[in-house]
C-alpha cells in the first residue's frame, strides 16, 4: 500500500482565492460575511451569507468555454488548475482520478431555470446544459486536458468533500492511480438558503459555533481541490508536501433526515482513527463540522468527548469564517488543516464570546494559535447521517 501525500491545493472561497490568501485569512481569523447579492432576498427578515467576491474565472479557465460552465463548475475548475500548478504536475498520460463532492451541483442555475418556467419564459438551453453535477468533475478533465483519468462526482451533501478525498485516498493508496484531484464545490442559491431559513437555522448576523448565543448557520460557497499523490511519485520529482493523508472513515447511520446522531458520529471518528492506526491521544487538533446550530454543536462535541475523553484536543470550526459551503465544506476544511500542519498554527473559531456549557471544548476563540501540529482530524457530517472524517499528519520523511 502506498503512503499518500498532498502536493498541491487550490481554493476559491469568501475569505481568499488561492492558498496564500486563504492561509493568511485563516491565521488572521477573517470573516467572509456580507449581505447576499446573488439572488433576491426580498421577504426574508435577514440575509447575510459568505459569497465569493473578486473571482475572475478567465484568469484560471483557458480551455473550456466559461459560458458553458455553471458557477460551481467555474469555482472548481479554477481551484483544480491552482492545485495542479502548486503541485507542479502536468499529467496527461499517467492514470489519474478526479473525485469531486457536491451537495447540490449547479442549484444556482436550477433556480434560474425554475424561475423562468414559473414566469412562462423560454428556458435558456445554455443554462440547462450546465446543471448536471457530473460537469463538476468532467469540466476539470476537459480544462486540464487529462485524457487518462476517471472523473466522478459524489453527492453526499455536506460531507461530500471528505468522501471525495477518501475515495481518492483509497485509489492512490491501492496503486489504482498515480495521482488524484479531489475536493468539493458548491455555489450559493436561493433554494438552499430558503430551505435552511424555513428550518429556522439561518443566523441573522454571523456564525458562532460552540457559543451559548449561537443562532445558526450562514450559507456560503466556493471550492477546494487537493492533489493527492503517492509518496514515491512525489519524492521522485522533488514535490513540496503539505501533509500526509493518514486515513479516513465514512459511515451512514440513517438516524434522522436532518438531526445528527452521537453514536454514528463517534463511530465515524473511530473508523478514521483505526484506518490511520492512531490513538486519540496522538491527535493535536480537531476541525469540527461545527455548523453553529444547537443540534450539531452539542451532538458533535458529545461524540468527540465520547471518543477522546473529557479533555479533547483543540476543536475549531472554520465555518465561523467561511460559512457553510455545503459540498465544499469539508474539502476547504481539509485544506485549512493541511495549511495549519504545514505552517504551524491552529485557526480560530471567530465570533466567539461565551462557550456553551454543553460544548466544553477549547475552540481557540477569535485568535489563531501557534502550534507544532503532528496529526489533525477533520470532520464532515451530513443530512441522513452521511458522515466522513479525514486524518492528516505532518510529513517528516
Gap between the Cα atoms of 343 and 56, Å rounded: 27
Cβ-Cβ contacts under 8 Å for 267 (sequence gap 6 or more): 249, 251, 253
| Given the residues 9, 158, 182, 189, the one annotated as active site | 158
| Given the residues 289, 337, 359, 363, the one annotated as active site | 289
In a 3-state reduction of DSSP, which class is residue 170? helix
* Residue 324 appears among annotated catalytic residues: yes
C-alpha neighbours within 13 Å on the C-beta side of residue 69: 27
Query: How does DSSP classify residue 58?
Result: G
* Residue 359 appears among annotated catalytic residues: no
* Most distant pair of Cα atoms in the chain: their distance: 62
Query: How does DSSP classify residue 312?
Result: P
Specify whether the CB–CB gap between 248 and 350 falls below 8 A: no
Gap between the Cα atoms of 76 and 55, Å rounded: 12
- In which residue are the cell numbers 459524489 written? 154
* Residue 343 appears among annotated catalytic residues: no
| Given the residues 207, 324, 352, 363, the one annotated as active site | 324
Q: Tell me which residue of 193, 160, 258, 163 sits closest to 50, measured CA to CA.
A: 193
Gap between the Cα atoms of 316 and 341, Å rounded: 14
Gap between the Cα atoms of 178 and 40, Å rounded: 45
Specify whether the CB–CB gap between 212 and 354 falls below 8 A: yes
Q: Tell me which residue of 187, 182, 207 sits closest to 331, measured CA to CA.
A: 182
Phi, psi for residue 238 in degrees, rounded to 5: 65, 35
Residues with catalytic function: 158, 289, 324
Amino acid at each position: 500500500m502506498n503512503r499518500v501525500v498532498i502536493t498541491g491545493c487550490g481554493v476559491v472561497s469568501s475569505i481568499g482565492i488561492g492558498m496564500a490568501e486563504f492561509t493568511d485569512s485563516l491565521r488572521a481569523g477573517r470573516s467572509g460575511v456580507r449581505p447576499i447579492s446573488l439572488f433576491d432576498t426580498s421577504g426574508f427578515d435577514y440575509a447575510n451569507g459568505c459569497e465569493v467576491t473578486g473571482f475572475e474565472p478567465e484568469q484560471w479557465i483557458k480551455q473550456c468555454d466559461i459560458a458553458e460552465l455553471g458557477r460551481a463548475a467555474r469555482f472548481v475548475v479554477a481551484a483544480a488548475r491552482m492545485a495542479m500548478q502548486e503541485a507542479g504536475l502536468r499529467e496527461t498520460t499517467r492514470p489519474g482520478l478526479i473525485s469531486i463532492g457536491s451537495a447540490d451541483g449547479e442549484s444556482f442555475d436550477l433556480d434560474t431555470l425554475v424561475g423562468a418556467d414559473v414566469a412562462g419564459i423560454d428556458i435558456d438551453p445554455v443554462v440547462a446544459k450546465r446543471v448536471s453535477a457530473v460537469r463538476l468533475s468532467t469540466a476539470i478533465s476537459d480544462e486540464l486536458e487529462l485524457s487518462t483519468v476517471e472523473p466522478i462526482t459524489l453527492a453526499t451533501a455536506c460531507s461530500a468533500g471528505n468522501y471525495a478525498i477518501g475515495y481518492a485516498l483509497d485509489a492512490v493508496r491501492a496503486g489504482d492511480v498515480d495521482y488524484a484531484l479531489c475536493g468539493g464545490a458548491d455555489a450559493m442559491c436561493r433554494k438552499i438558503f430558503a430551505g435552511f431559513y424555513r428550518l429556522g437555522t439561518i443566523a441573522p448576523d454571523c456564525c458562532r459555533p460552540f457559543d451559548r448565543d449561537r443562532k445558526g448557520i450562514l450559507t456560503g460557497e466556493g471550492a477546494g481541490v487537493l492533489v493527492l499523490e503517492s509518496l514515491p511519485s512525489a519524492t521522485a520529482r522533488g514535490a513540496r508536501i503539505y501533509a500526509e493523508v493518514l486515513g479516513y472513515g465514512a459511515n451512514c447511520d440513517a438516524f434522522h433526515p436532518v438531526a445528527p446522531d452521537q453514536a454514528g458520529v463517534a463511530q465515524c471518528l473511530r473508523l478514521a482513527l483505526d484506518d490511520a492506526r492512531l490513538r486519540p491521544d496522538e491527535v493535536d487538533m480537531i476541525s469540527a463540522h461545527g455548523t453553529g446550530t444547537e443540534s450539531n454543536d452539542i451532538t458533535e462535541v458529545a461524540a468527540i468527548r465520547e471518543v477522546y475523553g473529557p479533555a479533547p484536543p483543540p476543536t475549531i470550526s472554520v465555518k465561523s469564517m467561511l460559512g457553510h459551503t455545503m459540498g465544499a465544506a469539508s474539502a476547504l476544511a481539509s485544506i485549512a488543516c493541511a495549511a495549519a500542519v504545514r505552517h504551524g498554527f491552529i485557526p480560530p473559531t471567530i465570533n466567539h464570546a461565551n462557550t456553551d456549557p454543553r460544548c466544553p471544548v477549547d475552540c481557540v476563540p477569535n485568535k489563531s494559535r501557534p502550534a507544532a501540529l503532528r496529526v489533525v482530524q477533520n470532520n464532515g457530517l451530513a443530512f441522513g447521517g452521511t458522515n466522513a472524517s479525514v486524518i492528516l499528519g505532518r510529513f517528516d520523511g
